[in-house]
Amino acid sequence: MLEEIRLDGLGVIAAAAVPLHPGFTVLTGETGAGKTMLLSALDLLFGGRADSALVRPGAARARVEGRLHLATASPGTARALQAGAELDEDGSLLVQRTIGTEGRSRALLGGTSVPNGVLTEIAARVVAVHGQADQHRLTAGSRQREVLDRYAGAAASEALAAYQVVYTRRQEVADELAELVRTGPDTGAEIERLRYATERVAVLAPDPDEDDELAERIGRLSHADALVQAASVAYAAMGGEESDSSTAGGYASLAAAAHALAAVAGHDPVLADLSARAEELLILAADLQGDLAGYREQVAADPAALARAQERVAALADAGRAYCPQDPTAAGLVAWSRGAAARLAALEGAEARQGALRETVRQLDRDVAERAAALHDVRAAAASRLAEQVRRELAGLAMPTARLTVQVAEAAPGMHGADEVAILFAAHDGTAERPLARAASGGELSRVMLALEVVLAGADPVPTMVFDEVDAGVGGEAAVEIGVRLARLARHHQVLVVTHLPQVAAFADLHVRVRKDAGGDVTASDVTVLDEDERVVELARMLGGLAGSESAQEHARELLARAAPERAPGTTVARR
């Protein structure tokens, strides 16, 4: 709950502290005295949009500070601690928000600077503000569905969560299927292109090292005659059978040198080294002679083989330019072929994938329908109970003949189920029930919303509720009954109400009066917690504008006496 709100430099409020009761606190005052500015302060405190227009003229900044006391295990406390906030020694949590004249703001939670979004998250767990704008939102179908689900409680939240799991999955699968169908025509053309290309490359069967091998083969075949002639001359020079007097003697001379040195090598180490080198040369010469003989036999002019090699080079180059122009080599073709085969397999599997996805969508449609039906049953059962309880509350709010129905009709599946929820209303006998937006006046809508809040009180986990002139357009006995309902709501929640109606204010446990000074400002001394006598004077002013009128004060005392049984024990006279 909120224990206190402090304001500095906010609009007409120079400085003020507003204490709050754990039950029912009412704020009253003349029009323009700054009551609504307190609601603006609450909005800022819980992450509302910063606006430099809220800064009081002449002030350097506006500051709002609130002290929250939350249960140790509450979601609000958990979120605050997660954000790095520190609780005070008494377990309370200090929330601060400042706005500069340039519009920039800063938020502190338990002494720690936090983004405004964190304050908004805390607010969702701590406070619910109801004003005339909320009354109009109540006329929207989505809001009416939320109200029904709140009333249905865990049964609805669990059924909705189960539904949303399969609905979300169904949408994901359907989106994937739609994308495959959308790209289907292009996919067919790509499959044909890839199939032709991969088959062509498969026939070629390139080898990654083939380019160098082909270049070597073509070079050898292109110069076969010259190579054989050179090898023959060298063979003859080494003493081969075709040697003549002009070329012979190479091997024989080496052999003679080696034999001569070997005969005397034992007499001189230097000569022995030379003899070993000569022997080594002789061995190498013999090997060279044999290799030259073999080479001559292997190399021969072969125009057909040369043509085949050149055709192979041309075919590889043509395929490389067509399919992998960035790397038109045999190795590039091999790499491209592997990637193209993988892409082709994926595309050829797309049709099978579409079939599988269609079957999955059909199964998920069945699951969606099943879980939507379960959610519908929960809502339909809760709808009749909610309508009956609200009708009873409306009878107590001086609308004895009002009729209200919560209709749950089937609709196309969406994120929140397959139901269209509508609250139908008729204020009097003899009129047909119509949608709430068209059937209720402002005052009637105020009472419908209040009736709903009273009924939902036990199901709503938010500890603090704020009502800004929710009683607009209401008077007389109906206003008294609104006060009764707010007092009963305060048995389950902290309730803060801004009102102009004395019939409502009389039921508060704590009465705070806000007034402007002669200069039109609100200072700390102008926000007053009223005692019993002061409360009588304020209620008399609200009754007829004549605070000193004895008859008005007597009427005020009657209102307080009538409201006393509904107020929390020990709060008939508020402490200063």
CA gap 125, 129 in Å, rounded: 12
What is the structure's pLDDT at 306? 80
pTM: 0.61
CA gap 53, 371 in Å, rounded: 49
CA gap 256, 441 in Å, rounded: 133
CA-closest candidate to residue 115, choices 127, 107, 103, 125: 107
CA-closest candidate to residue 48, choices 113, 129, 111: 129
CA gap 556, 550 in Å, rounded: 10
CA gap 24, 486 in Å, rounded: 8
Q: Which residue has the tokens 């606006």?
A: 51
Q: Phi and psi for 294 in degrees, rounded to 5?
A: -65, -40
Pairing of strands 24-28, 61-69: unpaired
What is the structure's pLDDT at 291? 80
> Domains in the chain, please, with CATH?
2-131+451-566 (3.40.50.300), 186-348 (no CATH)
Tens of pLDDT along the chain (576 residues)? 888 889 888 887 888 888 888 899 999 887 765 677 777 888 888 888 888 888 888 888 999 998 888 887 788 888 888 888 888 888 888 999 999 988 888 988 888 999 888 888 888 788 877 766 666 678 888 889 999 998 999 999 999 999 999 999 999 999 999 888 887 666 777 888 888 999 999 998 999 888 888 888 887 777 777 887 787 777 877 776 654 544 456 777 788 888 888 887 878 888 889 888 888 888 888 888 888 887 777 777 777 888 888 888 888 989 989 999 989 889 999 999 999 998 888 777 777 788 899 999 999 999 999 999 999 999 999 999 999 999 998 888 888 899 999 999 999 999 999 999 999 999 888 889 999 888 887 778 878 888 888 888 766 667 888 887 666 667 777 788 888 888 988 888 899 998 889 999 999 999 998 887 666 565 655 788 899 999 999 999 888 766 667 888 999 999 999 998 888 664 443 322
Which residues does residue 434 pair with via DSSP β-bridges, in sequence order? 425
CA gap 197, 102 in Å, rounded: 66
Distances (CA, A) of 262 to 257, 265, 283: 9, 5, 14
CA gap 317, 180 in Å, rounded: 35
CA gap 302, 225 in Å, rounded: 10
Q: How far is CA 514 from the centre of its chain?
A: 43
Q: How far is CA 145 from the centre of its chain?
A: 23
Q: Is residue 10 within 8 Å of residue 35, measured between CB atoms?
A: no
Q: Is 306 helix (H, G, I), strand (E, B) or coil?
A: helix
Please state whether 109 falls in left (phi above 0), alpha (psi between -120 and 50) or beta: beta
What is the structure's pLDDT at 473? 66
